[in-house]
Amino acid sequence: MVAAAGSGKTSVIVAKTGWLVRKRYRTRSELLLLAFARDARREMEERMAKRLDAAIARDVTVRTFHGLGMAIMADVSRPRRTGGREVRRENASDGSVFYGCSNNPLCEHTAPACPRCGNGLPVRSGNAYRCRDCDGTIEACPVFDGWLNTKWGPRGRFLGCSNFPDCKYTRNLRESTGRGTEQKRTNLEQRRRR
């Protein structure tokens, strides 16, 4: 839909999405809303959350053109399960848990375990992942097919995609930096004094 700024494009798209789902012409998972820029995507998500049921807003996929392209490329390049099922496995070097295909070595599909409980397999549901074991919700990356992990950097905590380095999406956390960062600053100041 192309129209001038402020003409109601986003309102029409949100209203049409709600109408399609309520009239049962389409299921929530069949709908894809595309925006040109991240700001427009965020605006569309916010309006959907305000005007529609929470379940509809959560399950409808809203992406930018770039984010959709990245998701398609990730989906094409990812190894597929070939006739097997996902089996829980442990990494021999560090003991971390991941899920691999039961047809290994014929199939190289792997999926990381839930970052919250470290055990379950997160499954995508709309704009979030849900863990089968701890029933926790993990925010999905808006650019790539992965979830957002809390990470530490030189400027404090931030959210980064679980598919790094393939996806370099990050978002700053505006919360307090915590004791770890304060301790690092103190150590840096002590080194500079020497």
Summarised one tens digit per residue, pLDDT across range 133-146 is: 787 888 888 887 78
Query: What's the confidence (pLDDT) of residue 177?
Result: 44
Query: What's the confidence (pLDDT) of residue 185?
Result: 55
- In this prediction, residues 42-47 reach a mean pLDDT of 87
| pTM for the whole structure | 0.43
Structure tokens that stand for 70 in this block = 């990245």
CA 59 to CA 30: how far, in whole Å? 9
- 35 pLDDT more than 70: yes
Taking residue 152's Cβ as centre, other Cβ atoms within 10 Å add up to 14
Query: What's the confidence (pLDDT) of residue 14?
Result: 86
Query: What's the confidence (pLDDT) of residue 158?
Result: 87
Query: What's the confidence (pLDDT) of residue 178?
Result: 46
- 129 pLDDT more than 80: yes
112 CB-near residues (< 8 Å, 6+ apart): 98, 99, 162
Query: What's the confidence (pLDDT) of residue 66?
Result: 87
Q: Which stretch of 94-98, 144-148, 190-194 has the lowest confidence by average pLDDT?
A: 190-194
Mark out the alpha helices in the chain (DSSP H runs): 9-22, 38-51, 54-59, 65-77, 178-193
Query: What's the confidence (pLDDT) of residue 83?
Result: 67
- 79 pLDDT more than 60: no
- Ramachandran region, residue 93 (left: φ > 0; alpha: ψ -120 to 50; beta: rest): alpha
CA 10 to CA 40: how far, in whole Å? 8
Query: What's the confidence (pLDDT) of residue 102?
Result: 78
pLDDT per position as a tens digit, 152-193: 888 888 888 887 777 888 888 765 344 444 555 555 566 666
Taking residue 144's Cβ as centre, other Cβ atoms within 10 Å add up to 21
Mean pLDDT over the full length of the chain = 77
Q: Which residues pair with 138 in a beta bridge?
A: 129
**Domain boundaries, given as residue ranges, for the chain:** 9-77
